[in-house]
Structure 1
Amino acid sequence: MSSAATSYQPVQVLESTRLLYDFLRTPAEYENHLERYSSGLIFRLGFGKTIKTGNEELVRRIMHVVHTVERVASPGAYLVDTFPTLMCLPAWLAPFKQELGRLHKEELGLFRQLQDDVRQEMKDGKAPQCWERTFLEDQAEYGLSSDEGAYVVGTLFEAGAGTTAAAMMSFLLAMVHHPVWQARLQHEIDTVVGPQSIPGFNHMPSLPTVRAVVKETLRWRPVTAGGVPHQLVKDDVYNGLFLPAGTNIHANQWAIHRDNLYPDPETFNPARWLEPRYPTYREPLTTYPTIQNFSAFGFGRRICPGMNIAERSLNLLVARIAWAFNISKARDERGREIAVPLYDYTSGFNVQPKRFTFDMKARSEDKARMVERAMREAETEDPLAGR
């Protein structure tokens, strides 16, 4: 277990409490609420700042950069992806170079502003502990320039702000279509947590179904479906095809998670991560809770550095949402169920279900009151209140 990731758990609990409260008030705005959670968590950890609504000016600027990065990083976003020789053109003949130059200037300016804000707060003795402050305090040890440090922290935000939200939207889609698994989740959570508590990290070792649902969601609908492109560091041969060093390789996450290792791969089936017999991929989670055997977070030395934080967030959110709410298909004015498509996803570097209509209601008045009370306590105890 990562000790650093464990130290962030109080922040995840606080932000997830706000998410439950937001869902309780305006469930139809689930996309905004999930994006606020994801960006709010990383904003706290990265820059020591809070995001209350997601509509703050600075947040809008950051999310614009995030969505732009996702667009330009998508395979085929520019013709040069297909015809690399276009890179030889001068900038005045290559519109893609001009656009990327403007985007880099915008991105760097934003990252510098965030870093300068923390630097000024440190001078004023008001800077909370955060990743940017850690870099500035130990910059000489890291051996990075100010701009390089700004990019390290800034790109962590870019990578984490939307991915957790996208995965959770696929979880909601799964619950709409698989009420049996929702019931199994709720039964496990109610048994372990009891009626007087909201699920927390202390409950996770006793919630194997929660962890299995998270893993199956990431396998069933990988966020980075086409994989993150990486360059080969040396020549390689794959199925008789010679690939020289420097070749861009896309590890197709969608295809990998539909390997024969996962029978009936299009079916959302968390049991594949639970049962100790075939077709389980390996040992049960109850015995080996840290085994991955799926590539949702990448591979090797380029594996997602925020993997431990992200997986903890997903486990906590799944447990808390299933504890608090019933999720089901919505009905029209005639009482007929409104169809929810299974494969209507966005395109791009990261993918998520396009907005769909469903019902999310508190499971009981008691649970609703517990969420409201937890939110009041969280606001009172928030070390960044007013920032």
Structure 2
Amino acid sequence: MLATLIIASFAIITVYFLLVRTKPKALPPGTQLPDGPPRKPLVGNLLDLPPFHSWLKFHEWQKQYGPLYRLDLAGRTNIIVSSEEIANDLLRERGNIYSSREQLPMGAQLLSDNLRPVLLPYGDTWRKVRKLMHNLTNVTMASGYEPVQEEESIRAIRDLIKAPQEYEKWFHRFSAGLILRLAYSKPIDTGEEGYVKRIMQVNTHLERIASPGSYLVDTFPILMHLPTWLAPFKREGNALHAEELDLFSSLLDEGTKASQGQVDPNFCGRWDADKEAHGLSKDHVAYAIGTLFEAGAGTTQAAMQNFMLAMTLHLEEFHKLQQEVDNIVGLDRLPLISDMPNLPRVRAVAKEVMRWRPVSAGGLPHQLTKDDVYVLDGKKIFLEAGANIHPVQWSIHREPKRYPDPDSFRPERWLKPDWPTYREPLTQYPNLQNFSSFGHGRRICPGQHIAERSLYILIARIAWCCDLSQAEDASGKPIVPPSYDYVAGFNTHPKHFSFALNARPDRYAILEAEYDRLWGGRT
């Protein structure tokens, strides 16, 4: 009886709360709200969103309502941005008011206890955490990590040749192994180690919990006032937070200890050597370093799976890639990261993969902290403080004006002067620095320089070492994988597909010799 009365009371309060929250605010003279799809009473557009791959629906609406439109998600205003120019104008040029995060109860508060950098509100704590992460991953530091990336890529490609249908495993082990070595001095052998599984489980929980609509409390925050015995979401969030805090804290302790006496200290050691200057709690540091793995491991793995899909569907592009790498590198050695200024097609393919199938296709909203007005096509558009400004990468990367023939995989758009995205010199461009696939403005991914080098070296070495073709069925007919059959989740990648991959003649011996030199006796 008591439980029924409590729930009924909360239902009444929630309806009142929604009516108050959805009451329209008076607009400044001469301004108007963004257009958008019709809203239903109380829930707005919430029920119009699909349970997964919401960016496809966002893209459909963009064609009807333009590059800047408004959604009402049960009283929470979302402004959908579908243009790179608008995203840069707002999120980069006006970053002082467009760089916060909505503090959703389940992800930011219960799961993360206001410690996870990607969900922190804009302010002093975020700036301190961001400074630490930048100091560990900036372009100068990233250049020093290149030998580890080259070393890990040898093992990944050797095993890819031996067992190509386990490609997800090899790309996962590369990305996880790289970050664990850099952060904690913890090399991995198989990728099946207990602590690796624990970290990947943390990633899985975050993606599930942070997905829009996963928890009712994010739509109706008033439910946070329910007692824990009536709120299973609280018990779940608290338990998962305790698990990930224990994991990140123990890894920080192990990494700090392992770094003592190292000539090149790991991330933990670099923080420990100057920890007083950073002014952060140990828990904030544990999350900052732990979530660098969280951000880097899954995204690099997904991007490489997208690369394999693109090449399997566009074998002619893979052959062009092979030709460039052969011409520049020759036949007697593996490509190096230092070769990249002379390998523009490698960089163009990497960038086109990130554009064609962005890993975070739905993007991550920024929260506006102050009322603002944006002029679009001569109209003054009012954007209200508290609104979530949501750059949808899928749409941004399909803007026809900037990306003609947007749904096609066309690396030449970065290599030939008759495309809008072409830039010179080709020894520098294209590159992935500040590319919108990594986010926007002050919230751009801090690990972009490391990710860029990982993609380049894997792509170049696969092209140099391997021949790729479409797999065949029992009758000898090519198996063409679907262009878009993707898993659900925040970071998305293609479901498992088949291809045929073999070592190129006379290349495997060179690869094996490098493997024996670097990895012999270790795995």
Alpha carbons of 1:201 and 1:55: their partners in 2 closer, same or farther (altered >3 Å)? Answer: same
Structure 2 residues without counterparts, runs of 5 or longer: 1-137
Counterpart CA distance in 2 for 1:298 and 1:73 is 17
Q: Is the 8 A contact 2:341 2:428 kept in 1?
A: no
Cα 1:320/1:126, change in 2 over 3 Å: closer
* Deviation at residue 337 of structure 1 after TM alignment: 1.4
Equivalent in the alignment of 1:144: 280
1:194 aligns with 2:334: no
Deviation larger for 248-257 or 5-14: 248-257
Which position in structure 2 is the counterpart of 1:211?
347
Alignment counterpart, residue 30 of structure 1, candidates 162, 167, 188? 167
Counterpart position of 2:372:
236
Q: For residues 205 and 119 of structure 1, do their structure 2 counterparts lie closer, same or farther at Cα, with a shift above 3 Å needed?
A: closer
Residue 223 of structure 1 pairs with residue 359 of structure 2: yes
Query: What secondary structure is seen at the aligned counterpart in 1 of 2:507?
Result: helix
* Distance across 2 between alignment mates of 1:334 and 1:368: 30
Query: Which residue in the other structure is 1:115 paired with?
Result: 252
1:312 and 2:453 matched: yes
Distance 1:252 1:319 in 2: 29
The one-character-per-residue Cα deviations of 1:206-244 (angstroms, maximum 9, x if unpaired) are 101100000000000000000023222322346666443
Partner in structure 1 of residue 482 of structure 2: 341
Following TM superposition, by how much is the alpha carbon of 1:16 offset from its aligned partner in structure 2, in angstroms? 0.5
Q: CA RMSD in A?
A: 2.1
Contact 2:434 2:444 in 1 (8 A): no
Equivalenced residue count is 380
Change (3 A) 1:16 1:163: same
Report the CA distance shift for 1:285/1:20 in structure 2 as closer, same or farther (over 3 A). Answer: farther
SS in 1 for 2:437: coil
After superposition, the Cα gap between the structure-2 partners of 1:334 and 1:212, relative to the gap in structure 1 and judged at 3 Å, is: same
1:378 alignment partner AA: L
5 Å-filtered alignment, 1:61-76, equals 61-76=198-213
Letter of the structure 1 residue corresponding to residue 316 of structure 2: V
Compared CA separation, residues 320 and 287, structure 1 to 2 (3 A): closer
Q: Give yes or no for contact 2:184–2:256 (8 Å, CA) kept in 1.
A: no
Structure 1: which 5+ runs fail to align?
A: none
Residues 288 and 133 of structure 1: CA distance in aligned 2, closer, same or farther (over 3 Å): closer
C-alpha displacement of 1:247: 2.9
TM-score, normalised via structure 2 length: 0.69
Whichever of the two has the greater Rg, that structure is 2
TM-score, normalisation: structure 1 = 0.92
**Map 1:76-87 → 2, pairs under 5 A:** 76-87=213-224
Match of 2:409 among 256, 264, 268: 268
The one-letter amino acid paired with 1:281 is T
Q: Shift in Å at residue 201 of structure 1?
A: 1.1
Aligned to 1:169: 305
Please state how far the C-alpha of 1:137 moved relative to its aligned partner: 2.0
Q: Which residue of 2 aligns with 1:286?
A: 426
Which residue number in structure 2 is paired with residue 15 of structure 1? 152
Percent identity over paired residues: 51
Question: Residues of 2 paired with 1:19 and 1:361: CA distance?
Answer: 14
1:327 lines up with 2:468 in the alignment = yes
Contact (CA 8 Å) 2:321, 2:345: kept in 1 or not? yes
Could you give the per-residue CA deviations for residues 70-101 of structure 1, whole angstroms, max 9, x where no partner exists? 22111222123333443443433333222221
Aligned residue for 2:389? 249
Q: How does 1:100-111 map to 2 (within 5 A)?
A: 100-111=237-248
CA distance in 2 between counterparts of 1:75 and 1:7 reads 38
1:48 equivalent to 2:185? Answer: yes
**Structure-2 separation of matches of 1:276 and 1:198:** 30
The answer as to whether partners of 1:171 and 1:217 remain within 8 angstroms in 2 is yes
